Structure 1
Amino acid sequence: MPSRPLPPTPDAGLCQALAADLSDAGFASAGLRAMWGAPADDAIVRGLRSPALRGLGDRADPLAVLGRLFVLGMPQGEASVADALPRTRAAGLSALGLVTVADGQATPAVLVRPQSFADEFGEGEWWIASDLDEAALQGPLPEDHVLGVGGASLTLAGLQLPLIADRGLDVGSGCGVQALRARRMVDHVVATDISERALWFTQLNALLNGVDGIETRLGSLFEPVTGEEFDRVVSNPPFVITPRVAGVPEYEYRDGGMDGDDLVAAFVRGVGGLLAPGGVAQLLGNWETRGGVDGLDRVREWVSASPVPLDAWVIERESLDPLAYAELWVRDGATLPGTPEFARLVDAWLDDFASRAVTAVGFGYLLLRRPISGSPTLARYERLPQALPGTGIGAHLAAALAAHDLAVQVSDVELAASTLLVAPDVTEARHQRPGEDAPTIIELRQGAGFGRALAVDPGLAALVGACDGDLSVGVLIDAIAELLEVDAEALRADLLPRVRELLFTGFLGFS
């Protein structure tokens, strides 16, 4: 399907005027949510407009007009738009390519929705423009659709390391939200995409939010930045596995145009050449379990195939069987279950998976790092199905990397001589049978980070409980060995590797 004509290049002055109008009108997440109610606000994300319209009633104030126009994607009268946006008016919106004007009506061509954010540098809110959704279109999305901020976008934004750097790269920028987030930590960000329409939205959103230092370049994967190096690379790539057969929609925002999980594999194999020493790449991805080879093992092979050796921390958050995966993405394209078209598309997905002997598809996060010097020291591939916390996960990743880098430089003798502190978010739970004194299960739980829960034995539980920054690890192990009546050297050999793991995962820290 050919791409739609592009709107004109966004005008900085008009974007500044629109931002001032939106601010004066109180066009913000909290105000909208209060206006039509929390349940209606949540329903908008699911494609339901009617609860919000019921909440609005006959309100005609500026916030209500903008809510209908930009959040729900509904035409509004030119006079009402002029009252809501006195600097910009409908003519200014038309010049920006945000509405079309005819017969006294302003009909939205895009959505503009407030999106709040919070990180280690503070809290704030952006206005994010994107293409009209299914509810506004009253039908399926066009294949060149540019998605707004969804759950995956928010996840990746929260995963970004909150560390200051010079140069950043956003591969597959879409509406530009990752570039905006990266720009809060990185002096200059290059945003690339194969879609000119996506880059237009990236430019528009940067101007609308008064964010400079974001440069857009057109091209596939790493082509636009060949020969350059970056301190940070972030990507929410079009990783959705899509059959390469006629009659299956190829949505640019989710389909990378390659077979199976080849796009993610190409990214992993090639990104090392773009990373400066110490540089980090973070992305979302899918990977197939195929031919009896586990998906995480296949990712490990991709990392090993990188010409530039890389540290790797890969987390699988969920795994779907081929049928569940097919149904998920056929529904995402607005094809309704129970229809012949839905069944046809699901069969196309299942045939595609069967051709590669795929039995499961994993989804997760990849963190890849080029060592500053020497060989990689981190190769961690794990499954963590629990839900992510709302904030703080990027800081947790950064702390884990720092703890790892420190721990690999510390010998067992030096670690035994160190004093440690148990993290303030760690709690302990003990479970025992009624009438028995000794617990059958001792569990350490983490309130922050990935919210890990670990079953531990009495020796490790005693060590963690005694880590208050006073006595060294070695002294504590000797005391615990005496208390448990076990050999101190054997206990030390057992506990020190597990202490290193607790340092990485954030249960313990150096005092």
Structure 2
Amino acid sequence: MLPEPDAALCRGLADDLRDAGYTPEALRSAWGAAADDAIARGLRAPADRALGGRGGALAVLGRLFMLGMPQPAASVARALPRTAPDGLVRLGLAVAAGDDVRPLAVVRPQSYADAGAADGGSVWWIASDLDEAALGGPLPEDHVLGVGGASLTLAALQLPTPAIRGLDIGAGCGIQALRARRSVERVVATDISQRALGFTRLNALLNGVDGIEVRLGSLFDPVAGERFDRIVSNPPFVITPRVDDVPAYEYRDGGMEGDDVVAAFVRGVGEHLEPGGVAQLLGNWETRAGTAGLDRVREWVESSSVPLDAWVVERESLDPLSYAELWVRDGGTLPGTPGFARLIDAWLDDFTSRDVSEVGFGYLLLRRPASGAPTLARYELLHQALPGDGIGAHLADALAAHDRLAALDDDGVAASVFAVAPDVTEARHHVPGQEDPTVIELRQGGGFGRALGVDPGLAALVGACDGDLPAGALIDAIAQLLGVDAAALRADLVPRVRELAFTGFLRIV
């Protein structure tokens, strides 16, 4: 367990890191793009080799905190004049080893950006446990994970709209709590690991973020009877065999069978949401005995004691063997090393016991309706990478568009005015020698980066939506041009206008 972090020491360390220019861009420039990318694959040597004998503050801190390599105490003292080696020891980040300082944790700079934020985003320094490259072997079961791809995805997905009370379940190193505090006034961060909560407190102080309270416990136990406007969770959703000799890593294993931890979250979260409150999380779900994973998620939502709006996106799916290999490797056990084949067999036996043919991964957005019954039940496959920043704002805009249109009947939608989103482009494909296109495709530069095939009628409507005339008037004009019945065209296009407004191709004026 980490010691209780000292606020003054954390401020001093932050000032030292800032003065050293300890940023992702500076480190990438110092050891080169190839070596920087190799670090993410667990390879430290290329970055160390690129630094050579350089002894400046950035090089010393890069070796110590990014690569997890001992450094001379005198060099560390020069690189961190306010903190000094003794300060790192008192924070639990390092130990003295003769004339060297040996790191006990990594402290990595992490850039972040917030669309519309006053400061536009900046850099956080995130402390977490040493990874397998620094440890030279498999991770301990109480390992506290740093910022990985899943963490960054969830941070980007968080709604940027203001809220009062927030909850981060399974806080880990605290990255989601830090991100939530950008728009939420007060955040409770919970975890089953005291060590993880120690890193959350440390990282909040290190980055000058107040308003984060930590509590020990599993799922909703630490907040029994409480409600929140915003809940976020990167839960320990990894499906792990319940076998004695299979490591149960706290950062990824919730101690339940199969996908039960995600099911428990979905079924229980509604009771802890204020009316209008939103929960966002990542998760895995199994396809069992021919029942698709997304259909099982729908069952979880529908079995909630509190009715919920739901928008669930499956980002990817893996067969049982690929899933097993992914997470055995993640724990630091590699092919050809002792125990690899045994662990793979344990995972496959576990999947076979539940007749699992596929495991999906994705994002869940759940909302307690402000009043009345749920109006949103969307379960979709989007097996593509997120295109970039701004996805959280896109989700907020989609919810707002849904709520506005849900209050309108078809005549109300036809009477509304729409404009094409600025990130939308159109592509037309022709057979050589033919005037009319065989394929018309709308593409979205932001949001989920959707591509949508459309017919000439819908393409004409989207092209005419310039924020001037109502959709119904445009449809009537298009019907006349195409020589088709206006009422039939309106009945066809209005539901599709709702979809285009929700997905961000059109904006309500």
Name the TM tier (shorter chain). Answer: over 0.9
Task: Give 3-state SS (helix, strand or coil) of 1:123's partner.
Answer: coil
What is the aligned partner in structure 2 of residue 328 from structure 1? Answer: 326
Corresponding residue to 2:103 among 97, 104, 108: 108
- Aligned-partner residue type, residue 71 of structure 2: Q
Q: Which of 447, 469, 472 is the aligned partner of 1:471?
A: 469
How far the C-alpha of 1:440 sits from its partner, in A, is: 1.2
* Alignment correspondent of 2:59: 64
Which consecutive aligned stretches of 4+ in structure 1 deviate over 3 angstroms post-superposition?
Answer: none
2:179: which partner in 1?
Answer: 181
User: 1:162-181 counterparts in 2 under 5 A?
Assistant: 162-181=160-179
Once the two structures are overlaid, the 10-residue window that deviates more, 282-291 or 383-392, is: 383-392
1:338 Cα shift?
Answer: 3.4
The residue type equivalent to 2:184 in the other structure is: V
| Counterpart residue number, 2:374 | 376
Shift of 1:212: 0.6
Alignment of 1:51 onto 2:46: yes
Mark the runs of 5 or more structure 2 residues left unpaired by the alignment. Answer: none
Q: Which residue number in structure 1 is paired with residue 112 of structure 2?
A: 117
TM-score by length of 1: 0.98
Deviations 1:346-388 (A, max 9, x none): 1111110010000100000000000110000000000001110
CA separation in 2, counterparts of 1:415 and 1:449?
A: 23
The residue number in structure 2 matching 1:87 is 82
Quote the offset at 1:470 in angstroms: 2.0
What secondary structure is seen at the aligned counterpart in 1 of 2:350?
Answer: helix
SS at the partner of 1:470? Answer: strand
Deviation at residue 418 of structure 1 after TM alignment: 1.7
Q: Distance in 2 between matches of 1:340 and 1:194?
A: 30
SS in 2 for 1:327: helix
| Percent pairwise identity | 75
Q: Which amino acid aligns with 1:180?
A: L
- Deviation string 1:169-193 (CA, Å, 9 cap, x unpaired) is 0000000000000011011000000
Deviates more, 1:441-450 or 1:334-343: 334-343
- Cα shift at 1:340: 5.3
Kept after mapping to 1: 8 A contact 2:16/2:80: yes
Q: Distance in 2 between matches of 1:390 and 1:322?
A: 29
Question: What residue identity is the alignment partner of 1:30?
Answer: E
Equivalent residue in structure 2 for 1:311, among 305, 309, 312: 309
Among 144, 147, 150, the alignment partner of 2:145 is 147
What secondary structure does 1:118 align onto?
Answer: coil
SS in structure 1 at match of 2:36: helix
Deviation at 1:339, TM superposition (A): 4.1
**What amino acid sits opposite 1:20 in the alignment?**
D
Tell me the amino acid that sits aligned with residue 100 of structure 2.
Q
Tell me the residue number matched to 2:240: 242
Q: 1:198 aligns with which of 196, 199, 210?
A: 196
Matched-pair contact (CA < 8 Å) for 2:191–2:216: yes
The SS at the match of 2:121 is strand
- Give the letter aligned to residue 489 of structure 1: A
Does structure 1 retain, via aligned residues, the 8 Å contact 2:166–2:230?
Answer: yes
Deviations 1:234-276 (A, max 9, x none): 0000000000012111011111100000000000000000000
Tell me if 1:135 matches 2:128: no
2:446 is matched with 448
Residues in 1 aligned to 2:359 and 2:72: alpha-carbon distance in whole angstroms: 48
Distance 2:154 2:127 in 1: 18
* Residue aligned with 1:15, SS: helix
Q: Matched residues in 2 for 1:119 and 1:402: separation?
A: 19
| Amino acid paired to 1:14 | L
What CA distance in whole angstroms lies between the structure 1 residues aligned with 2:170 and 2:426? 43
Rounded to whole Å, the distance in 2 between the matches of 1:307 and 1:88 is 51
- CA displacement at 1:39 relative to structure 2: 1.2
1-structure distance, mates of 2:28, 2:499: 43
C-alpha distance in structure 2 between counterparts of 1:248 and 1:350, whole Å: 13
After alignment, is 339-348 or 190-199 more displaced?
A: 339-348
Cα distance in structure 2, aligned partners of 1:148 and 1:461: 45
Match of 2:405 among 404, 407, 411: 407
Deviation at 1:133, TM superposition (A): 0.6
Q: Residues of 2 paired with 1:38 and 1:72: CA distance?
A: 15
TM-score when normalising by structure 2:
0.98
Q: Describe how 1:383-402 pairs up with structure 2 within 5 A.
A: 383-402=381-400
Give 1:471 deviation, angstroms: 1.9
The separation in 1 between residues aligned to 2:74 and 2:380, in whole angstroms, is 57
| Structure 1 unmatched ranges of 5 or more | 1-5
Residue aligning to 1:289? 287
